[in-house]
Structure 1
Amino acid sequence: MRKLKVIEHISLDGVIQHSADENDFPYSGWNMPYRTPAGREAIMAAHTESFDLLLGRRTYDIWSDYWPEAPSDPLADRLKAAKKFVVTHRPESLKWGPFEGVGPDIVEGVRRVKAQDGPDLVLSGSSTLTSTLLENGLADEVLLAVYPILLGTGKRFFAAGTPARSLELAGTTTTPSGVLLNTYKPAGPLKTT
């Protein structure tokens, strides 16, 4: 069975939005000043040598406008080669491949994809999809690249109304620019005293 890893670049206040694609977000490229060669290597290692992608439709559309024409480098080449499993109601309009629609039932579709032979899956950039995966026990690992900034506005890591969850810290490293790379394992519903 394939593992599913969620990888997100996130501000201290939980914002994962990186572009002005909606809601007049004013801080496009907010993570760029913190990028370092060491941080890039750590993110590449987290993706592993071979992986497939699980993407929400909005993220797929944003990425398909950039990555197919991006200059060759190890991460770009891996993203281009990865099969893209896309959560969409319009699979016939997909063009950046190789790709496959997940199907109308997200939970069953992701279970089906995880049960297939193939490399592990990486999800990045979808708060709605991330919330659904964690709520249904489908994510095996969460890597948060936490940047030392507060944005105050923008799309958050979890969608509003996401049920409370517990995560167990599995490891952490720090990049030279102060970005924390925290790896978590889902640990079920929130436990209270």
Structure 2
Amino acid sequence: MRKLKIIEHISLDGVIQHSEDENGFPYSGWNMPYRTPAGREALLAAHTESFDLLLGRHTYDLWSEYWPDAPSDPFADRLKTATKFVVTHRPESLNWGPFEGVGPDVVEGVRRLKAQDGPDLILSGSSTLTSTLLENGLADEVVLAVYPLLLGTGKRFFAEGTPAQTLDFVGSTTTPSGVQLTTYRPTGRI
């Protein structure tokens, strides 16, 4: 059985959006000034040695513009070799592989993936999926890389109306630039 870990870069006010969109999000790349070698090592450790990715179509499309041609390094190489399980209505248009469509029923598709043998699954970005996974008890761990800034606008970690959840604290580390990586284990609804 695979485990599913959600790893998100997030502002203090809950924004996980990193790129411009049709709504005029003004803070592309807001986390760049906080990146340090120590932070990179902490994030690499959170991802583990081998993993597959669970991605929404928008995140998949954004990542496929950069990561296939990114210079070789431990993180880029792991992303390139990971199977990308993509929530999409157009699996025939995927091109950054290895890849596989999740299927029309996201919850059943993720349950199927978790029941298979293989490396653990990691969801990053894909804000639409986060709430669905937590609401249906599919996330085994949540790692938040919390940046010391407020953005005030942008896509949030949880969708409006997501049922209240409890999380158990697992551990935390802080990078030299003030980014706090905190790990939680979802325990259910309040």
TM-score interval, smaller chain: over 0.9
**Equivalent-residue separation in structure 2 for 1:78 and 1:127 (angstroms):** 22
1:164 Cα deviation from its structure 2 partner: 1.0
Taking the TM superposition and a 5 Å limit, the aligned residue runs for 1:9-158 are: 9-158=9-158
What letter corresponds to residue 78 of structure 1 in structure 2? R
1:22 Cα deviation from its structure 2 partner: 3.5
What letter corresponds to residue 96 of structure 1 in structure 2? W
Q: Render the CA deviation track for 1:126-177: whole Å, top value 9, x for unaligned.
A: 1210100000000000000000000000000011211111111110110001
After superposing the two structures, state which structure 1 stretch, 127-136 or 16-25, moved more.
Answer: 16-25
Aligned length: 190
Counterpart secondary structure, 1:103: coil
Q: Render the CA deviation track for 1:40-64: whole Å, top value 9, x for unaligned.
A: 0000001011100000000000001
Counterpart secondary structure, 2:10: strand
**Equivalent-residue separation in structure 1 for 2:152 and 2:80 (angstroms):** 33
**Equivalent-residue separation in structure 2 for 1:22 and 1:9 (angstroms):** 21
**Equivalent-residue separation in structure 2 for 1:31 and 1:70 (angstroms):** 18
Counterpart secondary structure, 1:157: coil
**Equivalent-residue separation in structure 1 for 2:140 and 2:187 (angstroms):** 10
TM-score w.r.t. the length of structure 2 is 0.99
1:10 Cα deviation from its structure 2 partner: 0.1
Counterpart secondary structure, 1:67: helix
Counterpart secondary structure, 2:100: strand
TM-score w.r.t. the length of structure 1 is 0.97
2:179 counterpart residue number: 179
Counterpart secondary structure, 2:160: coil
Structure 1, gaps ≥5 residues long: none
Counterpart secondary structure, 1:53: strand
Q: Render the CA deviation track for 1:63-120: whole Å, top value 9, x for unaligned.
A: 0111001111110000000000000011011000000000000000000011111000
Counterpart secondary structure, 1:42: helix
Counterpart secondary structure, 1:129: helix
Counterpart secondary structure, 2:33: helix
CA RMSD of aligned residues (A): 0.6
Moved over 3 A (4+): none
1:21 Cα deviation from its structure 2 partner: 2.9
